Chain A
């Protein structure tokens, strides 16, 4: 018996050994598989990160130089010979306001017609007294809108005439290209934009420290300009985008959240609500350009909204953002545990009270995140805006959503097409940086608000 036992035992031990052996073999394979999967996953994550780094690196490296621009720091004498203007009209007793306004505008136009370029030329010439450089070359290194900077100084303070004041003027786009080296400095004369005299003058001023790099704050405060590319800025596009975002927030968020609450909490399950649901889901997958066509056909042609206005753009973007907000809100409503509803109902709350007092507060972080992400998506949308005429050249800051305007992503598109490639290529990337910065801060706001609400809960 004992022998049998023994042999039985040894057989069992053999079996166990064998099993252990099999397991060990399998274990090795499992560990290997796991290691392979892990390394593949890591490689995928690293390559995704690598792409992002390359993309952002490229954008930042190309765009950052555009935030600094050549400025000319000099002194301008408002020569009364040149700025020969009479006193600004004042409202006479007995004169109607309309008449006074007309006189004042006529005065402003006469001021505009003074030869401001002569003042600029004289100011530059004092830095190069012995050079016989021609007027055209001198003016070619100064931003053409400098004349309006001087004009506005006089309109604001007519007492300045006859005085010499220190001033900072922008260099022209071509001078900026030359100093920065964005145009190949070794090219022969006939391939350069500036004349040899202008280039020599720019180099001399740069060496003297009269011409130096400054942060281009006008990029944020000026409107777009074709006459003076160096002084073009994003203020108009920014305001246009802001108006559109306001319209999206005011319209898409309440409508989206309300319809999500109704569909999820109150709607009876029938054909009609099914139909609505399917269509909302389909709407989320419709390409944005289709919304642009719809906007042009409906908002502009049927409702007669103005062309190129943030109002029409905002409405189109609202349509585009609605499904995103509805779907995200519904899924966060669905994630609320049934026990919460049952508890509320069990304590005698009505259906509406249950939804607004118990369910909705829990979903605030989700709804907020969905709304902000929807708005951020709308902020970056370009295609539908092109179809409602928002890709126009606009040199005003819009004062209402009804004024013509562009938007930040459309401004990228417009500057990308500007013929002064050397100057506008870095500028385009700078605009991308501004837009990305706005997007990132919107997303950061979403994360911050979410964590705040979650803590309060």
Chain B
């Protein structure tokens, strides 16, 4: 009986110690958000930990751009994240939520570009796409009545005789927004005229699209389950899996680091991270992390991020963004 008492006394003692030490300051930067930015941010975090022995390696979580910004805007304090990664710009509504919860010093840093590519399995035909063709394949409305195309060669003779099926990111991903703005809307306007309603354009055929909530590995698994499917990937993911995937050209341009950097390839988007100004000086190392992220060796030509598939922003732009960050420029 005595031993049981001892055990429970120790248990409650330990619980007390945990609860007490929970109030201690956090000294590791906490980051969450876009799964497109995650590989880049993780690489920077790891290098940061290796080059700055005085700081802990930042922790990088996922959850999609929307999920990251939601956590970011939950408030100020040690149990909220310090930096949100995002593959799209923060929205007005999100800034409002942030402000309401006391986060008013939101510092936006744009650090580079990522290409969005269309890829199929290597054992299927190769594609030369245009936004118009993509819209004709998956848009809900054809020129006369509902869209009923079943195979790619019905849309254009250039395409192989392959069933239409596309695995596209779900709306929790920032990639979806870019896909809609750079592909679906231009395609829709090409089909229905310049003044086509956005709402009508964004209606997609649910029978030929698969919405991917998870990451690109899930998209790849879909392609392996349905060999005819075409997947939407980030350039860096495609690059690491070029043994099983082949990429489609868009408007005749093949997506590469160069064509995206020069703006020839049409479907690319800027990548951002948002820093909570209130946490600078409270959580150690945030400023150093941002400066390190934007330094030449990390985010420059030949840097570690370029090797991982990021298209670094031009140096002047990076300097301007950094300057704005230092001076505390808010996102709004």
Give the interface of A toward B (CB within 8 A): 105, 108-109, 112-113, 148, 183-184, 187, 190-193, 225-227, 247, 250-251, 254-255, 258, 300-301, 303-308, 311, 352, 356-357, 389, 391-396, 400-404, 416-422
Contacts and interface: CB of A to CB of B under 8 A. Distances in A.
Contacts of B1: 352, 356-357
Contact of B237 (A183, A187, A419): A419
B232 to A, nearest CB: 15
Contacts of B43: 226-227
Interface stretch (B77-85, B126-134, B200-208): B77-85
A402 B46 contact: no
A401 B18 CA distance: 8
Which are the 3 A-B pairs with shortest beta-carbon distances? A392-B61, A226-B42, A395-B57
B51 A421 contact: no
B7 to A, nearest CB: 5
B220 interface: yes
Contacts, number: 133
Most-contacted residue by chain A among B1, B220, B236 (CB, 10 A):
B1
Interface string B24-42: 1010101110000011001
B148 interface: no
Contacts of A420: 240
Contacts of B237: 419
A254 B24 CA distance: 27
A41 B313 CA distance: 67
Most-contacted residue by chain A among B18, B31, B220 (CB, 10 A):
B18
B24 A402 contact: yes
Contact of A396 (B8, B28, B38): B28
Contact of A395 (B45, B77, B79): B45
Contacts of B23: 304
Contacts of A254: 4, 7-8, 11
Interface residues of B, number: 59
B14 A250 contact: yes
A421 B220 contact: yes
A106 B111 CA distance: 27
Interface stretch (B162-170, B178-186, B209-217, B262-270): B209-217
Contacts of B80: 307
B9 to A, nearest CB: 9
Contacts of A247: 18
Contacts of A396: 28, 49, 56-57
Contacts of A191: 122, 242-243
A239 B247 CA distance: 41
B61 A308 contact: yes
B46 A226 contact: yes
B241 interface: yes
Contacts of B78: 304, 306
Contacts of A307: 30, 61, 79-81
Interface in B62-112: 62, 74, 77-81
B10 interface: yes
Nearest to B1: A356
Given A307-B30, A417-B217, A389 B61 contact: yes
Contacts of B281: none
B79 A419 contact: no
A306 B79 CA distance: 5
Contacts of B242: 190-193
A305 B240 contact: no
Contacts of B46: 225-227, 395
A417 B52 contact: no
Contacts of B62: 391-392
B60 interface: yes
Contacts of B243: 183-184, 187, 191-193, 422
A250 B11 contact: yes
Contacts of B215: 417
B217 A419 contact: yes
Nearest to B23: A304
Nearest to B27: A403
A353 B284 CA distance: 56
Contacts of B122: 191
A86 B24 CA distance: 37
B59 interface: yes
Nearest to A147: B50
27 contacts: A105-B53, A108-B53, A109-B51, A112-B51, A192-B243, A193-B243, A226-B42, A227-B43, A227-B304, A250-B15, A254-B7, A254-B11, A304-B77, A307-B79, A307-B81, A356-B1, A356-B4, A389-B61, A391-B62, A392-B30, A392-B32, A393-B59, A395-B45, A396-B28, A417-B214, A419-B236, A421-B220
Given A305-B22, A389-B32, A193 B79 contact: no
B177 interface: no
Contact of B61 (A190, A303, A391): A391
Contacts of A305: 22, 79
Contacts of B42: 226, 393, 395
B195 interface: no
A166 to B, nearest CB: 24
Nearest to A400: B21
A112 B55 CA distance: 14
B246 to A, nearest CB: 8
A357 to B, nearest CB: 8
B332 interface: no
Contacts of B171: none
A226 B59 contact: no
B244 interface: yes
A419 B242 CA distance: 11
Interface in B98-151: 122
B240 A193 contact: yes
A112 B220 contact: no
Contacts of A404: 28, 30, 59
Contacts of B81: 307
Nearest to A258: B8
Given A305-B79, A418-B217, 10 more contacts: A184-B243, A187-B243, A193-B240, A250-B15, A308-B61, A311-B18, A392-B32, A395-B57, A400-B21, A402-B18
A300 B79 contact: yes
B287 interface: no
B22 A421 contact: no
B47 interface: yes
A304 B46 CA distance: 27
A392 B41 CA distance: 11
A94 B7 CA distance: 49
A304 B81 CA distance: 12
B54 interface: yes
B53 A109 contact: yes
Contacts of B18: 247, 311, 401-402
Contact of A109 (B28, B52, B60): B52
A307 B49 CA distance: 19
A226 B28 contact: no
